[in-house]
Chains A and B, each alone.
Chain A
Amino acid sequence: MLNPIVKKDVKVQSRSMRICWGVFIYELILALAFFLAMIIMEQQIRFSTSNIYSAMVWLYPVLALTQIGILGLIVPVRTASAISGEKERQTFDIMLTTSMTAFSVVMGKVMTAMIQSMFFVIASMPVMALSFVIGGMSWGYLFGFLALALLVSLFSASIGILCSSLCKKSISAVIMSYIIYIVFFLGTFLPYLLYEVALMNAAYSTTQTTNAALTYTYGENLYLFLLVNPAVYLAEFFGRVMTGESVVNTFATLTGAHQTKGLINHVATGSRWMVISTVLFVGISFLFLWLASKRIDPIKRRAKKRAKKQMQQPDMQVIVQENIMQKPEDGQ
């Protein structure tokens, strides 16, 4: 049975002109990216022996990354208002008094966001198809891109929903979503950067022998944080598609991570990195959704247990003094 929220939201949004304008602007941005890429290619080919058709395969990463970028930007905006919008419309309480669980509500909102995203992506297929029809890209990569777009939508939507459940206002939720993005994009680079700085300091301050010992220990395992870095994930995905080589494997070889001890040696080989990274992104998305559902659930499990425990105690006045202090709602 289809989630009622998905059914309703898709129906309501499809009647709005906003979705038409959204697709129009999306296509417009893609068209601009397409023409810009064509101009650059044309300039490059003028000074080389290769023909324009073989260069057109590069439309694939250009258009795909443009779309991923747009999705990454708009999905949190759409989902950040999912819960707070229901609250503002004052339909949220009614929703929670029905048989729907908090997780079903959250999943309904995420699925709506994913369907919307895929609607945009599928609408862009004619533009994307140019790199397949003229450029000679394999059609398998098209499905690869669709899967990537789904993953990006799920991840972005889960961040948006989590922020929407944490913030009262939609705008705060959007800002918080972008801050979480920054944490994933830049924050996961920090351990690697700090380790590199430490290594450089060690190289300047110690002898050659000590430096070698420092390099090939467990330190390189800090690179594992990059498993949840979206930029690294995209680089790995498009690196494999366009050149057939793994960016991570090359990086691991260059930094000597393959010679180190610990997990990194096993993870940064072959296609393992990509698989583990995908699983982690899906896992984090569901973790965020679970947290959001706990956040919006008015009868939180832990509080319920505490309430039951309190009820078993004889002196109610004592209980009141020890009550869970909660913020006022609705002025009551």
Chain B
Amino acid sequence: MLQINHLYKSYGKFQAVSDLSLHIPKGDLFGFVGPNGAGKTTTIRMVCGLMLPNAGTIKINGVDALANQKEIKKQIGYVPDFFGVYDNLKVREYMDFYGSMYRMHSREIAQIAGDLLELVNLSDKTEVYVDTLSRGMKQRLCVARALIHNPALLVLDEPNSGLDPRARVEMKELLLNLKSMGKTIVISSHILSELSEMCNSIGIMDHGHLVAAGRIEDVMDDVFGSNQLVVTFDEGRERAVRIANEYAGVKVTSVGEKEMKLSHSMTKQEIAGMIATMIENEVVVTGFHRQEGNLETLFMRVTENAGAQEGGNDYAESNR
């Protein structure tokens, strides 16, 4: 759906985006994460045709975005990080205005706007002035506005900033709903916990570079490793450590009062065998699980080591 190749953008001597390569498949809900000034908004603005890159290509559905702006504008719905509303304009007129900007007929606009307003739970507000709506309602209206021309790609820049918890939940549900309809969505946000609940893939930017990208599980595996095991027990700590160390390819990384962490290169059967041996040796094993990271720890890990990590799958092709 969205293919970015070797994208560069500089402001004077400041390199905002450097050698960004990214591929987002159709139907993905892609979360764009990064600290302030990382280059997320610059990238989004270039994708939406609001800024010209210094070098690189952007393709949407195989169409060159820079050479075919007219065609591309029909395929993108853009929701910026602010509410672009007019005083003295009603919700229905707001939708009508943007529909007519895509050269749609008024009957077609009325029909689609009705459906979209229902989708965003604003169907009872059609005759209400936009500036009287709450922040959350305005943001949902912005999403409905961005969908008026039925774009294939929806791009949202910090859509949840400044929203109250209820509005955030509603926005999350709306985006998941759109995802289930097959829309490809790119969303940039600082609220990592929400992104991890919504997105199936992420891209982490830092200092203009894409430092990690891909399906969330894959990125987690790349960063934390898939061979981290946590074993919890009530009794027999020393015996448990000794047994673990007897297995080839196992390294005990930390030992606590009632848990120990291992890095290993064992198969599932070998892990089961090791746990069974511990139990046979009177270690009271209360549980064991693969060590999971979350998006926050992933983000911190990746951004603190910016430059060391590289995207390792078909999402990212960072060439630093």
A→B interface (CB under 8 Å): 1, 4, 7-8, 11-12, 15-16, 89-100, 298-300, 303-304, 307-308, 310-311, 316, 319-320, 323-332
Contact = CB atoms under 8 A, between A and B. Distances in A.
Contact of B101 (A100, A307, A325): A100
Given A8-B86, A12-B87, A94-B84, A320 B10 contact: yes
A30 B13 CA distance: 56
Nearest to B13: A325
A67 to B, nearest CB: 27
A329 B87 contact: no
Given A99-B73, A325-B12, A90 B82 contact: yes
Given A11-B89, A319-B55, A298 B15 contact: no
A320 B12 contact: no
Contacts of A91: 84-86
B80 A93 contact: yes
A1 B12 CA distance: 42
B42 interface: yes
Contact of B66 (A8, A11, A304): A304
Contacts of B45: 93, 329-330, 332
B100 to A, nearest CB: 4
B27 to A, nearest CB: 22
Contact of A319 (B8, B11, B80, B89): B8
A100 B149 CA distance: 13
Contacts of B57: 311
A308 B78 CA distance: 24
A275 B111 CA distance: 50
B278 interface: no
Interface string B28-56: 00000000110111100100111111111
16 contacts: A4-B97, A4-B100, A12-B88, A12-B89, A16-B87, A90-B82, A90-B84, A93-B50, A93-B78, A99-B103, A99-B149, A100-B101, A299-B69, A325-B10, A331-B37, A332-B45
B122 interface: no
B74 interface: yes
A174 to B, nearest CB: 21
Contacts of A94: 78, 80, 84, 98, 145
A320 B84 contact: no
Nearest to B87: A12
Contacts of A1: 100, 103
Contact of A320 (B8, B39, B83, B101): B8
B76 A97 contact: yes
A275 B261 CA distance: 90
A62 to B, nearest CB: 36
B15 A320 contact: yes
A324 B54 contact: yes
Nearest to B74: A99
Which among A4, A98, A100, A324 has the highest number of chain B CB atoms within 10 Å? A98
B87 A323 contact: no
Given A11-B89, A326-B12, A93 B84 contact: yes
A257 B291 CA distance: 94
A324 B103 CA distance: 34
A59 B172 CA distance: 67
B70 A98 contact: no
Interface in B274-316: none
Contacts of A328: 11-12, 14
Contacts of B144: none
A93 B157 CA distance: 12
Contacts of B41: 330, 332
B6 interface: yes
B12 to A, nearest CB: 5
B18 A332 contact: no
B102 A99 contact: yes
Given A298-B52, A311-B56, A332 B42 contact: yes
Among all A-B residue pairs, the 3 with the closest Cβ atoms: A91-B84, A323-B54, A4-B100
B214 to A, nearest CB: 23
B206 interface: no
Contacts of B149: 99
Contacts of B67: 304, 308
Contacts of B100: 1, 4, 7
Contacts of B73: 97-99
Nearest to B19: A316
Nearest to A13: B88
Contacts of A12: 86-89
A90 B80 contact: yes
Contact of A8 (B48, B84, B93): B93
Given A4-B100, A99-B101, A319 B54 contact: yes
